[in-house]
Amino acid sequence: MKRPMRNVSIVIFMMFLSLFVSSTTIQVISADSLSQDPHNVRSAYDGYKVQRGAILVGGKPIAQSVKSDDVYRYLRTYGSSIYSAATGFSSVYQGSTGLESAMDSYLAGRNSSQFFEQISAVLSGVPAQGASVELTIVPKVQKAAWDALGNMQGAVVAIEPSTGNILAWVSKPGFDANDLSVHDGEQSTAAYNELLGKTGNPLLRKTDSELYAPGSVFKILVAAAAFETGKFSPSSNLSNPSKFQLPATNTYIQNSGEGRCGGQKTVSIATALKLSCNIPFAQLGIALGEDTIASQAEKFGFGSIIKTPLSSVASVYPSGMDKAQLGLSAFGQFDVRATPLQIAMISSAIANKGLLMKPNLVQTVLSSNLAVLSAPSPAEQGRPISEKTANALTEMMVAAVESGVSTNGSVKGVTVAGKTGTAQNGPKQPYTLWFTGFAPAENPKVAVAVVIADGGGQGQNGRGNSLAAPVASKVMKAVLGK
């Protein structure tokens, strides 16, 4: 009799243990992720019982909750489409995206740091109020970036190199989150479906959630990889034919203009970057090898999800390439893909003497009684390149803006370091246009990346210098007060 009782006792104990482990996992370990899951409808409904905290830029709300006359008590409202890539949306029907999702536990008053407020709410019967989140975005810089893109599809990311703080975070086309946050299910769903069908996919953040062929802006990274080996310098010469047959293929590549880049039989790496020569960089990439370039790309952040706290997609440097593919990858073609955030990080590290700071969108999180719950400090992500390499790249990028192919990125009275890119996407497909750089070159206050998709409406006629560089110039001017 004792043995069956013992077995039953063991089974009951194991059941209680399983229940304890699962409930602890749900209530403690997975609480934040479950509350942020857009499919968690109960969490969404509960979120409307409290006044959700505001998202602020320059001290003014760009997203806030106001009282409503229906069962939800509060309606989420948004100030401008300019900030849609940052805020995302919060909808009882469509879930949440952007910072509304990433910072949900704070905004909804459920973060562990708000424990005493939660206890007070239980005892008083008055729902806790969510915390407000102040962003690092600078209003005038954000507006300058938004206006400069005009009707073009694309994105702008501007970063303060010394801190990693994000000064502008723009994705176009944007969207009006008020259309999604309404308390009418049919209206919200109709608006959501309409956005899904719109040209340019407004709901997809082009700042960090869409990958583009980087084209010639990737030459900066390849030059960095070359210098870091210690075997190359800016003055190292490369062969400069008018066309180059890719190894083991019948395919020839040419420079822009289809001649010798600079007119000489050989060209230095510095001149090749200044004039954006494809053939010399293809040969340099083959000489370096896939592993060397991949290692350098990884140090800059390729292959990693970057959290700002928004989660990016990982930029891609392909593996297992033959020499022909490797040559194409060295000037940002083949299967190389990057986000604007990633390209801005490369310029930011160069501007900061080789030290890469973690990009960050959140300045402070304040409770309803104005207590500081979180205030992220500048944090180092790593040192992808030496100060010597950073200085060399800076000089080369300055030359590209002053007398090379990136002249439209200039700012009067300021020394700008920069590089343009015009990436091909296949026969008859519109080009992807880029500019990345920083200013002032001697004491950088801003690093910027601009991408323009769909050829800027000009198909294969647009160029990085004609369309992307002027956008970057206006952003840098806004930061520098020019």
User: What is the set of active-site residues?
Assistant: 216
> What's the CA gap between 44 and 267, in Å, rounded?
61
Q: In this structure, are residues 206 and 85 in contact, taking their beta carbons and an 8 Å threshold?
A: yes
Q: Report the SS3 class of residue 127.
A: coil
The amino acid that residue 190 corresponds to is A
Q: Report the SS3 class of residue 449.
A: strand
CA angle in degrees (0–180, nearest 5) for 101-107-108: 95
DSSP tag of 468: I
Give the residue carrying structure tokens 């395919």.
Answer: 251
Which ranges of 311-366 does DSSP label H, i.e. alpha helix?
A: 323-329, 340-351
> What's the CA gap between 353 and 396, in Å, rounded?
14
Q: Tell me the torsion sign for CA atoms 422, 423, 424, 429.
A: negative
Q: Report the SS3 class of residue 63.
A: strand
Residues near 103 by Cβ (< 8 Å), separated by ≥ 6? Answer: 55, 133, 309, 362, 365
User: In the structure encoding, which two tokens stand for residue 150, read together?
Assistant: 């005009």
Q: Which of 444, 482, 293, 301 is nearest to 381 (CA)?
A: 301
Residues near 154 by Cβ (< 8 Å), separated by ≥ 6? Answer: 171, 172, 206, 433, 450, 451, 452, 453, 456, 468
- For the chain, how long is the longest CA-to-CA vector? 98
Q: Which of 332, 302, 324 is nearest to 432 (CA)?
A: 332
Pairing outcome for strands 132-135 and 362-366? antiparallel
Residues near 456 by Cβ (< 8 Å), separated by ≥ 6? Answer: 152, 154, 433, 462, 467, 468
> What's the CA gap between 312 and 300, in Å, rounded?
14
Q: In this structure, are residues 205 and 99 in contact, taking their beta carbons and an 8 Å threshold?
A: no
Give the residue carrying structure tokens 């500081």.
Answer: 372
Q: Which of 235, 238, 171 is nearest to 207 (CA)?
A: 171
Residue 394 buriedness (CB in 10 A; 0-12 / 13-18 / 19+): buried
